[in-house]
Structure 1
């Protein structure tokens, strides 16, 4: 009997060790995918940002010595701006609808395509804010994100109850942002930015814990295709948390040209 208990305890210990090692590899993959997505977004935004603003006089003046190029006008002032603005949102909903029908490799390619599209969508920040303030805000966001994600991963507190509240907050932010496109209220803009920082800070911790608990719940099934897709979806969620927190912080901290 004692030998049986010893064998059973050994198997439980081995299983726990396997999950622990698998979880570490899973989280590394999540953060790795997210990092590649961030690089693609930054590269697309920076490259396009350099093509949209010039100090050579054109018909599209946006500052004392700053002008939009023809590319900049097409992206930020023509009707095409609505496509650029809402394309990432449409892609997110499409990704969620098709994730179960495509392969892990297809999902990863879609994620990278989405990250590049997001870079195009936010390239306007280089026409509005100074490069120094963009870099400073990015670094502050990275530090805050790392701390929040680490807390979400290590805390023993169950924060799964935050989910419904935070998601409702995101929906409210989205609707308020669309309304404020037409109202152009500075007070409403400030309120949206403040709430946005708080909501996506909470989502960073929530999503990190959810990625961890979801892996632990499903790891023993050994479905590698599912685990690969789960890592991609986790990377997408954390990527969106980072990008949104960065954009809302930029409204507070960014120095405008």
Structure 2
């Protein structure tokens, strides 16, 4: 085989590996979103289940707070152990996290109208798709943008904690606007990073590929969910 043909063949094979890797990422991310949406809808429409998370006085129960903490710990555990656990365990942890997240965001169905939830989801999907496509296709290195967006994320977390005590509607609006910008940017950055991961994943190592697709799905899932919630806070119609 001529040298040029051999090189072209290897490049084509590598490109197919990257494409298959990204398809896996989007598949598991979409499945996670489907699980989250299904669980959220079920919890919001089940008085028996809701009673477990809401006190008779209308406050949040200790069980609900425990689930939020469990979610946080599960993300940390999955991210830290992804290179050591089996592909099956990584997949199970991601699915469990998606289900737990469905429980904790189920209250959006009680706060916002169903029509605004659907319309906001569609807007979020369009924005996410456009920025993820940009991250896949652009030749520009988005590392510096990713660092800037990460600093913005830290600022958002601090501001949200402060606003728990201040209860400022203005600060809430500012956080939501900045949040939309941050998670839109992180979508493009994370997608580019996952493309690079796909270019370096070992060929023929199914376990490594599955681990990579699961951690990649988690990153894009978090970008999507947070972008959706920020958009909902800005544009959602309250009941």
Match of 1:198?
Answer: 181
Counterpart mapping for 1:108-147 below 5 A = 108-147=91-130
Report the Cα offset of residue 88 of structure 1. 2.0
Structure 2 residue 13 is the aligned partner of structure 1 residue 18: yes
Structure 2 residue 221 is the aligned partner of structure 1 residue 239: yes
Partners of 1:76 and 1:17 in 2: CA distance: 57
Query: For the Cα contact (< 8 Å) 1:88–1:121, is it kept in 2?
Result: no
Residues 244 and 76 from structure 1, CA distance in 2 versus in 1: closer, same or farther, beyond 3 angstroms? farther
Partners of 2:150 and 2:126 in 1: CA distance: 23
Unpaired runs of at least 5, structure 2: none
Report the Cα offset of residue 230 of structure 1. 0.9
Partners of 1:134 and 1:21 in 2: CA distance: 36
Partners of 1:225 and 1:8 in 2: CA distance: 32
Report the Cα offset of residue 76 of structure 1. 5.1
Query: For the Cα contact (< 8 Å) 2:87–2:210, is it kept in 1?
Result: yes
Partners of 1:126 and 1:198 in 2: CA distance: 24
Q: Looking at both structures, which has the greater relative contact order when contacts are Cα pairs under 8 Å and sequence separation is at least 6? A: 2
Q: Which has the larger radius of gyration?
A: 1
Q: What's the secondary structure of 1:158's corresponding residue?
A: coil
Report the Cα offset of residue 208 of structure 1. 0.7
Q: Which moved more, 1:231-240 or 1:76-85?
A: 76-85
Structural RMSD (CA): 2.0
After superposition, give the CA deviation of every residue in 1:58-90 in whole Å (9 maximum; x if it has no partner). Answer: xxxxxxxxxx96345249522333223333222
Aligned residues: 237
Task: Give the ranges of 4+ consecutive aligned residues of structure 1 lying more than 6 Å apart after TM superposition.
Answer: none
TM-score, normalised relative to structure 2: 0.92
Counterpart mapping for 1:31-110 below 5 A = 31-52=26-47, 70-74=51-55, 77-110=60-93
Match of 1:174?
Answer: 157
After superposition, give the CA deviation of every residue in 1:150-197 in whole Å (9 maximum; x if it has no partner). Answer: 111111211122222222221221222122222211111111111110
Residues 42 and 33 from structure 1, CA distance in 2 versus in 1: closer, same or farther, beyond 3 angstroms? same
Query: For the Cα contact (< 8 Å) 1:204–1:238, is it kept in 2?
Result: yes
Query: For the Cα contact (< 8 Å) 2:53–2:61, is it kept in 1?
Result: no
Q: What's the secondary structure of 1:161's corresponding residue?
A: helix
Partners of 1:42 and 1:34 in 2: CA distance: 12
After superposition, give the CA deviation of every residue in 1:16-43 in whole Å (9 maximum; x if it has no partner). Answer: 0101111111111110000100000000
